Amino acid sequence: MKSLSIKDIAVKANVSITTVSFIINGKAKEKSISEAVIEKVEKIIAESGYKPNQIARSLRTGNSNIIGLIIEDISNSFFSRIARLIEDKAYKRGYKIIYSSTENSVDKAKELINMFKSRKVDAYIISPIKGIEEDIQMLMNDGNPVILFDRNLPDISTSYVGADHFNASYQSIKNFIDQGKKNIALVTIDINVAQITERLEGYKKALEDSGIEYNEDLVLKIHFNQEENETIAQIQKLLQHKAVDAVLFATNYLAISGLKALKQIDKKIGDDFAVIAYDDHEAFELHTPRISAIQQPLEEIAETIIKMILNQLSSKAKLPAEEVIIPARLVLRD
């Protein structure tokens, strides 16, 4: 079944499509269409249930009112929660979101960028990976608003919104030290991206500032894509071997593996052994004992991203890149 076009409405109302278009786009007053005509046309539109074809509109105007969201994995709760907030805020401003997951693949990420490009999305929100700098630069050269989040790419100058990973990590370690911990371990992953390396830097700096020597044996770098069982085994080895009295897990899934590891070797969290997880998780509140965690301010991150996008969208001139670093919050439990 064919849907109605602006022409059908024009014929029914006995006016030109120009007039209908003006009315649909709220330019009736400005174009001084008579009240009578406006009413007649609006009535017909309402009765017929006519909806303008956005595809045609996009082709003509050059914008789609769609924002492309490129993330690592929508099923990761950090991203799905951000996606939800972004969707919500964008929706209120008349924008829709089209998303895709990169699965940490450079090829897929490049493909997605091309795909979004050919779909003429109005703006890009990207949680990037190394290796797509050139593609992003091209996007910006073409005048597209681009906001990176979660992870930054140091080699290009892009607008960026993210949490202050360095400080959050620093504060967590400081907290351990203030509790009198001496052998503080870090369990992290072996990928070389800023949001992860900053957590290591914060760890190192906090130790240094307290006069504790950095001990490489206390830092476990888990291989990014390995089986969870392997991860659990490595964590157990770390915790059994040493007089470790505190651990910072650099991601929430590492913390979850870590908690499983502890359970298996029956090592208890308590006065003589403390744990903090980077990025909160529902399981932490429920765990016995409850697990302390660093919370990224998702709401604020999403709001900042959307604000920057809208700013760039509404200014004809190209805005300079802007970096917003938002403090993360250490939530101590039990």
Partner DNA sequence: CTGAAAGCGCTTACAG
String marking each residue 59-98 x if it binds DNA according to CB under 7 A = xxx-------------------------------------
Q: Tell the residue number behind the tokens 């939800």, with chain if given.
A: 84
Helix/strand/coil for 14: coil
Separation in Å, CA 62 to CA 25, 70, 119: 16, 21, 10
Indicate the residue among 7 and 84 with the shorter CB distance to DNA. 7
Nearest approach, Cβ of residue 55 and DNA (Å): 7
User: Considering the rule CB under 7 A, would residue 6 count as an interface residue with DNA?
Assistant: yes
Q: What is the Cα–Cα distance from 182 to 184, expressed in whole angstroms? A: 6
Which of 37, 98, 156, 324 is the binder for a second copy (CB under 8 A)?
Answer: 98
Which of 39, 43, 48, 56 is the binder for DNA (CB under 7 A)?
Answer: 56
Regarding beta strands 292-295 and 329-331, do their DSSP bridges make them parallel or antiparallel, or are they unpaired? antiparallel
String marking each residue 32-71 x if it binds a second copy according to CB under 8 A = -------------------xxxxxx-xx----x-x-----
Which of 84, 182, 237, 318 is the binder for a second copy (CB under 8 A)?
Answer: 84
User: Considering the rule CB under 7 A, would residue 225 count as an interface residue with DNA?
Assistant: no
Nearest approach, Cβ of residue 89 and DNA (Å): 24
DSSP assignment of 65-132 = SEEEEEES-TTSHHHHHHHHHHHHHHHHTT-EEEEEE-TT-HHHHHHHHHHHHHTT-SEEEE---TT-
Residue 115 main-chain phi, psi, to 5 deg? -65, -45
User: Considering the rule CB under 8 A, would residue 141 count as an interface residue with a second copy?
Assistant: yes
Nearest approach, Cβ of residue 97 and a second copy (Å): 7
User: Considering the rule CB under 7 A, would residue 307 count as an interface residue with DNA?
Assistant: no
276: burial class by Cβ within 10 Å (0-12, 13-18, 19+)? Answer: buried
- In DSSP terms, 28 is beta-bridged to none
Q: What is the Cα–Cα distance from 39 to 61, expressed in whole angstroms? A: 26
User: Considering the rule CB under 8 A, would residue 150 count as an interface residue with a second copy?
Assistant: no
User: Considering the rule CB under 8 A, would residue 254 count as an interface residue with a second copy?
Assistant: no
Nearest approach, Cβ of residue 175 and a second copy (Å): 23
Indicate the residue among 139 and 196 with the shorter CB distance to a second copy. 139
DSSP, res 190: -
- In DSSP terms, 275 is beta-bridged to 247
| Sheet order of strands, 219-222 included | 219-222, 184-189, 246-249, 274-278, 292-295, 329-331
User: Considering the rule CB under 7 A, would residue 21 count as an interface residue with DNA?
Assistant: yes
Q: What residues line the site for a second copy (CB under 8 A)?
A: 1, 3, 51-56, 58-59, 64, 66, 73-75, 77, 80-81, 83-84, 87-88, 91, 96-101, 114-115, 117-120, 141-143, 256, 259-260, 263, 281-283, 285-288
Q: What residues line the site for DNA (CB under 7 A)?
A: 2-7, 14-19, 21-22, 24-25, 31-34, 36-37, 50, 52-53, 56-57, 59-61
